[in-house]
Homo-oligomer: A and B are copies of this chain.
């Protein structure tokens, strides 16, 4: 950590900062520049020492040197992690596709879609049973009934079931039916939920919050990893910006950036990331080209009758076309695609 003093900081202020650094169990190293003095604090820990110094008199700013996360970091584990469950393999050269409806709506719907996904080369089945909805007046999901239908579709097709859990007390119920627990974007910093998901020992798909920085995203993953559960997939699903022609802005550079920073696999959600069916397939292909380890995509047999988010669901035909293109591009960038 580097403490930058203000121009004109006094000897006394500098001495005080040194004392504070020592109180924190760190060693100081003073550098007197032409216009400013800076004090390096050696032996930096990751626990808020930065903040402790930021308010001392004469301090202009404190620059951390170490990343605030540990277990997610490539510094700690250089080899990429592959999350595997049933036939779904995500990471370390494998690209797994998870697809399905926004919400589970009926037995017929989910079975039809599961078959479609399987045949097109997908290995995971998505589908909301507990649905967090912006408005309390919107459809909130079939709840446990939805989980039962997902499990039935899994039994029929072998797809791994990926579904959202919204509260710590639901974790045991959802874990009974699902293969992967999804933490939604709204809950990326719901720490009791992250801990409960971690402790379930189930694989976790963690969605990036729409205003989360990379550090915040990785620190959220760290809450899961800290429980000893290492099967975490990070999911880029778009951020909130001023752009209004898409529902969110999908910043694909986070894929190669995260590959340099963390060993965890990166999944992209082009459905939420664009919010428009006509943009999903090009962005799915682009995600693969950018190096994604997985895709999670919404597909619906009849999007305009979907009970939620129909505007961003692919038709079965569009989905199959997308899969064909993704498979070819996956080869170009050295990924084993799908099943």
**What residues make up the interface of A, taking CB atoms closer than 8 Å to B?**
2, 4, 7, 20, 29, 31, 33-36, 38, 40, 42-48, 51-56, 63, 65-66, 68-70, 75, 132-139, 166-169, 186-187, 189-193, 209-211, 213-216, 219, 222-223, 226, 239-246, 249-257, 260, 273-274, 276-279, 282-283, 285-291, 303-311, 313, 325, 328-329, 332-333
Contact = CB atoms under 8 A, between A and B. Distances in A.
User: How many copies make up the complex?
Assistant: 4
Given A46-B135, A283-B256, A285-B333, A277 B38 contact: no
Contact of A239 (B137, B241, B333): B241
Nearest to A78: B8
A288 B309 CA distance: 28
Contacts of A286: 252, 286-287, 289-290
B40 A33 contact: yes
Nearest to A309: B51
6 contacts: A31-B40, A134-B189, A214-B243, A285-B332, A286-B286, A329-B329
Contacts of A215: 134
A245 B213 contact: yes
A10 to B, nearest CB: 16
Nearest to A189: B186
Contacts of A54: 310-311
Nearest to A312: B55
Contacts of A66: 35-36
Q: Which 9 A-B pairs have the closest CB atoms?
A: A211-B211, A289-B289, A186-B189, A286-B290, A54-B311, A211-B240, A167-B192, A256-B282, A286-B286
